[in-house]
Amino acid sequence: MPTSMQTIIGLMSGTSADGIDAAIIRSDGTRIERTNHAATFAYPSNLREAILAAAADAASYLAEPNRRAQLIQKITDAHCQAVASLREAANFPKIDLIGFHGQTVYHNPALGRTIQLGDGGQLAKAANIPVIYDFRAADMEAGGQGAPLAPIYHQLILQKAAREKSDIKLPALFINIGGVSNASFVMEDNLEGYDIGPGNALIDDLCQIFYQKPFDKGGEIAASAKIYIPFIERVLADPFFKMVGPRALDRAYFHSYLSQPDFASLPAADQIATVTALTARAAHHCIAQLAKPPKAVLIAGGGAHNHTLVAQLKAGLPRACKFIDARAIGCSPDFAEAELMALLAARWQAKLPSSFPETTGVATPQICGVQALPPQLQI
């Protein structure tokens, strides 16, 4: 049963590993009230490099316990500082709960393995606030893919928007473009969720390799170059795009395609333009597979700032489908996933499920998360 409304900090650090998004909302697990207090805290460059190195070679990383422990400590320290900084800036008299995702370095549903680095107990002690974390484990232990977790959040905000705004109609598709792109198909009486293909991961990694930049700001590099269609067609023939129903991806799933000779010989800008177009085409592929066409498509995540990507995504939508910026329904593209983590914490406390057969493939709905209490609340 829902509890009373609580003030919650949500923390999200995505697979791009550029930093920590933190947001404060009020929620009882079924309602979301925004406070407009949110901020991003960049990882130090050496920490980001260490996270990406761990994600690139998880097997070697797991074989070195000291390396793992040091990385967990540094990631947790960064989250502790983010919580302290946000609380100071927001000046909230009381925070009831923290939703802590941790830093993903590996996610392989086929093997039933996922790794989010971060010490919930250390964060609870430092902040002196109960922490709910490790949101993916319960789902995967019950046979789910551990992702995506965003659909319940998307459902709540889209249903609210459909009630309150005349231009928002269901069914609607909410696409979040992070390292991987995931989508939630919200209908009047049903909800589906899935990872749909590469998001920013290929773009970001090529920008880092060729330009020593973490991402293609505004899509400027992609806008200046040529798209290599054979590469896109080759990737879209991957078995992943033949899957239907709940499905999940690791950030590095498509990286092997980058080394194929014809693509690797292209100019750097053309490579970036091509993988940008691939992300848009993957979204179009998802839309074409839906049981019924969406009346609206909304976009959030870091990809929402890539103007080239957004223009390509919009250009390929069905004629009757309306493109809506997530900000039009009060959803920040940058802090949607941080708000999601706060919501998941509220749902854990209210003993409400956060993953479902239609979103992760789990057999039965799962209450997701583990609680860590500060010392004075421990029994």
The domain made up of 6-146+335-377 has a fold known as Nucleotidyltransferase; domain 5 (3.30.420)
Please tell me the predicted confidence (pLDDT) of residue 64.
85
Query: Which segments of the chain belong to CATH 3.30.420.40?
Result: 6-146+335-377, 151-329
Q: CA 248, CA 240: separation in Å to the nearest integer? A: 9
Reply yes or no on whether the pLDDT at 374 is more than 80: yes
Report residue 193's pLDDT band, with 50, 70 and 90 as the boundaries.
very high
Rounded Cα distance between 317 and 281, Å, is: 10
Is 142 a residue whose pLDDT tops 90? yes
Residue 35: per-residue pLDDT: 93
Q: Which range is most confident: 64-73, 111-120, 226-235? A: 226-235
Residue 170 CB burial class (10 angstroms; 0-12, 13-18, ≥19): middle
Given this model, what pLDDT does residue 371 score?
97
Contacts of 60 (CB under 8 A, 6+ apart): none
Residue 57 confidence (pLDDT): 84
Q: At residue 252, does pLDDT exceed 70?
A: yes
Tokens 């074989």 correspond to: 63
The model's pLDDT over 340-358, given as tens digits with 9 standing for 90+, comes to: 999 999 999 999 999 999 9
Which pLDDT score, from 0 to 100, does residue 112 have? 85
Percent of the chain's residues with pLDDT above 70: 99
pLDDT of residue 158: 93
φ and ψ at residue 374, rounded to 5 degrees? -65, 155
Res. 376: pLDDT tops 90 = no
Checking if the pLDDT of 189 tops 80, the result is: yes
Sequence-distant (6+) residues with CB within 8 A of 91 are none
- Asked if the model's pLDDT at residue 305 lies above 70, the reply is yes
Pairing state between β 32-42 and 296-300 = unpaired
Confidence band, pLDDT 50/70/90 cuts, at residue 3: low
Calpha distance 143→364 (Å, rounded): 9
Q: How confident is the model at residue 379 (pLDDT cuts 50, 70, 90)?
A: low
The confidence score (pLDDT) of residue 203 equals 97
Distance in Å from the first CA to the final CA of the chain: 24
Contact 162, 168 (CB under 8 A): yes
Per-residue pLDDT tens digits for 65-105: 888 999 999 999 999 999 999 999 998 779 999 999 999 99
CA distance 27 to 39: 19
Lowest pLDDT segment from 5-9, 15-19, 218-222, 246-250: 15-19
Lowest mean pLDDT among 39-43, 171-175, 250-254: 250-254
Alpha helices in the chain (DSSP H): 45-56, 58-62, 65-90, 120-127, 137-141, 151-164, 201-211, 220-223, 229-236, 261-264, 268-289, 307-315, 336-349, 357-360
- Amino acid symbol at 166: S
Q: For residue 293, say if its preceding peptide bond is cis, omega within 30 degrees of 0.
A: no
pLDDT of residue 362: 96
Give the pLDDT of residue 325.
84
**Phi, psi (deg, nearest 5) at residue 12:** -135, 130
Residue percentage of the chain with pLDDT more than 90 = 79
CATH fit for domain 151-329, picks 3.40.50.300, 3.30.420.40, 1.20.1430.10, 2.60.120.10 = 3.30.420.40
The residues, any chain, with a CB within 8 Å of residue 333's CB and separated by 6 or more, are 299, 300, 301, 302, 304, 305, 325, 326, 327
pLDDT-derived band at 326, boundaries 50, 70, 90 = confident
pLDDT of residue 65: 87
Cα within 13 Å of Cα(147), Cβ side: 26
